[in-house]
Each structure stands twice: as structure tokens, then as C-alpha cells.
Chain A
Amino acid sequence: MSSDLALDVRDLKVYYYTYAGVVKAVEGVSFQLRKGETLGLAGESGCGKSTLGFSLMNLVPPPGRIAGGSIYLDGMDIAKMSEEELRRKIRWKKISMVFQGAMNALTPVYKIGDQLAEPLMVHKGLEKNEAIEEAKKILPKVGLDPEIVNRYPHELSGGMKQRVMIAMALVLRPEVVIADEPTTALDVIVQAQILNLLKSLKKEFNISLILISHDLSIMAEVVERLAIMYAGKMVEIGSSDELFADPKHPYTQGLLKSIPKLTEKGLHYIPGTPPDLRNPPQGCRFADRCPFVFDKCRREEPPMFKVGETQYAACWLYE
């Protein structure tokens, strides 16, 4: 693995083993995250974005688990590590995550300071007051007054809670941070402030950032490279500049067209719904909704083809 890579993900498979069948939430996904880069993961609800995020920390909630593939970080394969090793070497220290909706899951009975101190006590072996002092140092970096260590979660606004979650993800100075829908459910103004914050933190801490969002406008404002997922598969990846200017995969084209704009009025959508991940169709998973579908699409699954300078798309149109 070359030294400018933060993560190298190969043929990753993550399944949920439910009574109703195996949900193939991530099916053969490969990508690389460069050091210091911001990569976006987009796609509609249920396409596997959060699952992919969890798996990068090898923290997929049961009944899910990594069913195959590798996640290389500094030459180690996260997908094959033991729990103990993951806890000691990887989670929060190398890779951390701002979980989707977690700002509403802050433990209500503990003060903010205690919650921020915990990872420092567990992972760095600090005493409680040392840990709280350390926590106070990180709060101004996310635009919060250090004095809020004495407050309870219900005394904070949504935007402030999200800043606390971001501070928590940064407190052990990881190299990779995954932010899962960090601005969903926040008001536009707070959303813009959080995005500003992520941009400036990325520079200051020199982290590699994976931003997960269903909102492509937000992606355009933040990420350097964008990956589009559909029904558990990565269908297109490329630099934002290239991908927004000239999307190649029919699904990406549809998604970009669905973004409402201020420059021209118009409402567009992609007819149909994504397939059931317990029983995905043979061939291309987008075939039922694709305006360009032809015979081969329904028979064989398309591999990634190089379609631009930095751009790859999984579609038979580019064979």
C-alpha cells in the first residue's frame, strides 16, 4: 500500500443476517481514501452508506458483519482484526465516526465534560480531571465555550450538540474521520456553520474525511471526490469537478438532475424504487429504473470502467 493512502478498501462485503434473509447491504465495494482527502459517499436511503461507514471501524451492529474483503490501514487489515486489537489500535485513535443521529443520543444524565472525558480516560489512561482539562482544549476548536463541560445535553441546541459529537470524534486525534449525515435535521444556517467547521477542521487537523450524505448540494460544497452508491454497490466514483460536470452512470445522472436549483426552476425524479437487498436482481441493480437498459444489463453485473480522468462507472454503456 503506497504511503499516501489512508485507507485501501478491497471487495468489501457487509451483510445483515436477519430471520427474513440475508441483507447484502454492501456488496463488493472497493475504493481508496488518500491522506488529507475529503471523500463523499452519497446515494438514497438504504443503499448502504452507514453500513459501509460502520464497517470501516469494523463496528457493524449485529446481526450484521463483514462477510468478505479487506480494509487496509497502515498495512493492517481492519476487516480481520480481533475486537481487542481494534479497540487498542484502531477505533477512535486511527478512525473515528460521527454517527448518524447520535447528537440526540448523548446520555442525558452525564455532563458534556464527562462524556468527552471518557474516551481519553479509556484510551489514554488519563485521570478524570486531566481528561476534562484535555476536553476543554478541544471545545474551542469546534466553536464551543470550554465552560459547557459543566452543562447537560438538554441545555444545548442541536447545532451545539453536533459540535460536541464532532469534538468527541477528534479528541484522540485520529487520521480518518467519518461523518455520517452530520447536518441532517439541522436548520440551514446551523448546517452551513457545521459544514464551515468541518472544512476548517480538516485543514487544521490534517485528517482524511469521509462525509456521508444523501444531499448532493452539501457534497458539492465540501468533498474533493465523490462516490455514488446504489443498492449496496458503488456505481460511480470520481473527482467532484468531473463528476458534477459530466456524470456518466445513468443513476448519477438521475440523482444530479433531481437536485432542485436556484439557477433554473424544474422538478425531476427517478421513477421506480431500489431493489430489495435480500433478493437483488441478477445483472445491473439499476436496470429496472434505467432509461438505457439493454439485454446484457439484466444478465451480467457491470464492473467499474474508467470513464474519465479520475472517474469510474459501473455501467455496460462504457464497456
Chain B
Amino acid sequence: MTKEFTPQDYVKELGEDDLLAVRDLVKYFPIRRSVIDVIARRRQKFVRAVDHISFDIKKGVIFSLVGESGCGKTTTGMTLVRLYDPTSGHIFFKVDEETRKKLDDISGGRIKFYDGYVDLAQVPSKWMKPLRTKLQIIFQDPYSSLNPAYRIRDILMEPLIIHGIGDSPEERYEIILKALEAVKLVPAEDIANRFPHMLSGGQRQRVNIAKALLLNPSFVVADEPIAMIDVSLRAEVLLSILDLKEKFGVSVLFITHDLTIAYNISDYIGVMYLGKLVELGSAEQIIKNPLHPYTQALVAAIPIPDPKRRHIIKDIRIKGEITSAVNVPPGCRFHPRCVAFDEHPEVQARCKAEEPRLIEVEKGHYVACHLY
């Protein structure tokens, strides 16, 4: 992707079923400077949390983002739903006629549309409201995300009132019951009248899914939604997330560090390393045929529930420790930890000097590594 591309050029390449197209997205966080830094006029440093990433999400699919702690998964999710403002780049998002009209009304026609897409990166926060219902996020912690002082019905009523959905309290209550039933929290009337502490972690997380669903979104970010849920109950939450896609046609960005779960739930997987997407493909391609040396190490590390492998000491082909997103190594940012780098002297010069781009190696399977 070259810099001279205009939004129209990007959008022209998109297919009929693309819901969201991320292009060259960047999110840097400034690091707080000490007084001494300021006096000495040291340059402002940044955490390069998300550093020029591009990918598409089709309608009604689950796209998992995987990678180690701090690689930028949450920042990506938060930026896509505009809880963070991007530093630069584009987020093309397809909107329906109704939302488009609302956007025209609120902005006095000043928001640009490109073939039915709006660039979320360019919509000022004050005009985001009509888009907020379309973009939802579910967080990791099902315990702190629901106000303990309110009944479930009141918790779910709030967003409906804020966005003016439903004409009467009765109608809103009907919508709430439907949403609870959609995530199989039944009998819905009983659940609606409970307080959060009267529900299990899995049930609370399904309330959060119901809350996201209420506003009829087209895109939901689920940020490690099962990390704090008991093993025996995880699937009940995952099945509700699958329903978002299958029954309601919603697209989901599913953030996880568990590759087995990513494999089981998603259509596509993107692998992130230090703010970059290093590999992208179908769940099958990424897990069964990982190409990037980092993805290969991740896949080799997956625990396998088979006691016959007990005596094996696993060969995890990676060196050193996680590098910080402040001092990103030049060239391929993975090179200080890359075992393939050591084994392929012929690519070392390029690895150290040139950032590899994502290239398509087989249909739909992209990798950013000079070996390919």
C-alpha cells in the first residue's frame, strides 16, 4: 500500500461483502516526559502500539487477533470502535441508509462517504453518536463491567434510552427480554430482575453480549471475553459470540491469546507482533500451516491435551524476551528473536534494514517476512 492512495482508491478495491477495511492504521501513545527531558529538549518518545496495519473484515465473520501481551491487540480494538482516536490511517466502515441519514443530519452533510463507506478515522468525536450503536465492544472483566447496584433490566435499559430506541418503557422491556433470550439467558424475565452478583461469570458475560446486541450493531469487538471465565463455562460464552455472527450477521473482532480458541471460533486469524500484523489468513491456514517464524513459535507452544506427549521437551523456536514497543528494532522488528534469521544468512541484511510487507503467499494467506 503506497502513501499516495486516496480513500476512493482504497474503497474501489473492496468487495461487496466487506464491512470494515483498515488501511495503514497507526496508534501511538506519547510517553510522559520528565522535567529533565523537557529541559534538555529531548525528543518526545512514543509507544508504537499499532504501527501501520491493514486488513479487511467481511460481513458476518469472526476475525481473531492473536499475539503476545502488549503487541497491540486491545489498542487495535479500541481504535476500531473509536474509543481511541487513531494517530493516522483509515478505517472504512460500511453504513446502512438509516445511519447515513443520521450522520448527514448530525454533521449537516459534512461527513464524506465513499461508496457507502465512512472513514471512521475522520469522523470527529462529536458526530460519532449515530455510529456508536453500530460499533460495540465487550471487555474481559465480566465482574466490573456491570454496575452491582442495578438490576439487569435497568443496566440494559440505559443504552436504549441514551440512543432513543423503543417508543415506550414496555417496548424497551420487550427488546431487553429478546436480547436476553438471544444469548440463552432464560427465563429472561427472571434474569432481568436479578442483580449482577446473582449470576455466574459466564452469565454476566452473556449479559454483556446481550447489551452489545441490543443496539443492533454490525461490528463487535470482543476483547478476551472468556479470560476470566471458568473453563467449564467458557463454551457457553463462545457459543453466544458465534450466534452474533450466525444469527445476527454481526462481524466480530475476537481478541485472544489462546490460539486453540481462536482456531475453534474464527473464520480468519491475524497474528500481531509489536504493533504489526505479521501474518493473516483463514483459521485453518494460520494454525495448520503457519509461515511466519513468530507464528510458527506460537503454534509450537500450544498445549495439546494428550498425555502421551508428556516426556517431550518442546522445541520453541524463539530467542530472548519480548521487546518493548518504544524502542522498536529497525528492519524486521522480529529479527532479534528470530531463529530463521540465524539460519538464513542470505536474508540477514534485508531483515536488519528493511521492514517486510504483508504479501500474499497462497490464496488469502498473507505473511510479512523476507523468507517469502
Indicate whether A105 reaches chain B with its CB closer than 8 angstroms: no
Stretch at the interface among A51-59, A252-260, A298-306: A252-260
The stretch among A16-24, A26-34, A64-72, A186-194 that forms the contact with chain B is A186-194
Interface on chain B toward A: helix, strand, loop, or mixed SS? Answer: helix
Q: What does the 1/0 interface line of B63-78 toward A look like (CB < 8 Å)?
A: 0000011000000000
When the two chains form their complex, are residues A188 and B309 in contact, meaning their CB atoms are under 8 A apart?
no
Assess A260 versus B232: contact at CB under 8 Å? Given A220-B303, A220-B307. Answer: no
**CB–CB B321/A265 < 8 A:** no
Contact A221 B303, CB 8 Å, known A160-B321, A214-B231, A269-B234: yes
| Chain B residues whose CB sits within 8 angstroms of the CB of A196 once the complex forms | 313-314, 316
Stretch from B159-167, B245-253, B259-267 contacting the other chain: B259-267
A160 to B310, CA, bound (A): 24
Contacts of A242-264 to chain B: CB distance below 8 A: 244, 254-256, 258-262
A100 to B181 Cα, complex, angstroms: 37
**Residue of A whose beta carbon sits closest to that of B241:** A267
Q: Verify if B371 is at the interface (C-beta below 8 Å from A).
A: no
Q: Check if B310 sits within 8 Å of A189, measured CB to CB.
A: no
Complex Cα gap A221–B303 (Å): 7
Q: Is B233 an interface residue (CB 8 A)?
A: yes
A61 at the binding interface (Cβ < 8 Å): no
Flag whether B200 is at the interface (Cβ < 8 A): yes
A158 touches B200 (CB 8 A): no
Output the least CB separation between B142 and chain A (Å): 13
Contact status of A216 and B231, CB under 8 A, knowing A159-B321, A188-B301, A189-B298: yes
Q: A192-B314, A196-B313 are in contact. Are A217 and B303 (CB under 8 A)?
A: yes
Most A CB within 10 A of own CB, among B202, B263, B305: B305
B297 at the interface (CB under 8 A from A): yes
Q: Tell me whether A115 is interfacial, beta carbon within 8 Å.
A: no
Kindly state whether residue A310 has any CB partner on chain B within 8 Å. Answer: no
Q: Note all chain B residues with C-beta closer than 8 A to A160.
A: 321
Contact with B along A222-234 (1 / 0, CB 8 A): 1110000000000
Q: Which residues of A contact B242 (CB under 8 A)?
A: 267
Can you list, as one digit per residue, whether each of A255-281 has a CB less than 8 Å from chain B (1) or not (0)? Answer: 110111110011111110100000000
Which chain B residues lie closer than 8 Å to A217 at the CB level? 260, 303-305
Q: In the complex the two chains form, is A224's CB within 8 Å of B234's CB?
A: no
Query: Could you tell me the distance in whole angstroms from the C-beta of A154 to the nearest C-beta in chain B?
Result: 13
CB of A20 to closest CB in B, whole Å: 13
Question: Which B residues lie within 8 Å of A241 (CB)?
Answer: 307-308
Q: Which listed residue, B233, B261, B313, touches A260 by the CB 8 Å rule?
A: B261
Query: Quick one: given A216-B231, A240-B307, A255-B232, are A260 and B318 in contact (CB under 8 Å)?
Result: no
Q: Kindly report which residue of chain A lies nearest to residue B262, judged by CB atoms.
A: A260
Could you say which residues of chain B place their CB within 8 Å of the CB of A158? 69
- B287 neighbours in A (Cβ, 8 Å): 262
B301 contacts A189, CB within 8 Å? yes
Name A218's contact: one of B303, B318, B321 (CB within 8 Å): B303
Residue pair A266, B264 in contact (C-beta under 8 Å):
yes
Closest to A226 in B: B307
Q: A45 an interface residue at 8 Å Cβ cutoff?
A: yes
Listed A/B pairs (10) with beta-carbon separation below 8 Å: A187-B257, A188-B257, A188-B302, A192-B303, A195-B303, A217-B260, A260-B234, A261-B260, A261-B305, A273-B233
Chain B residues within 8 Å of A, Cβ to Cβ: 68-69, 200, 202, 230-236, 238-239, 242, 257-261, 263-265, 287, 297-298, 300-310, 313-314, 316, 318, 321-322
Would you list the 9 A-B pairs with minimal beta carbon distance, nearest first? A192-B301, A240-B307, A269-B235, A217-B303, A267-B235, A187-B68, A217-B305, A270-B232, A44-B230
Binding site for B on A (CB under 8 A): 44-45, 157-160, 187-193, 195-196, 199-200, 214-218, 220-224, 240-241, 244, 254-256, 258-262, 265-271, 273
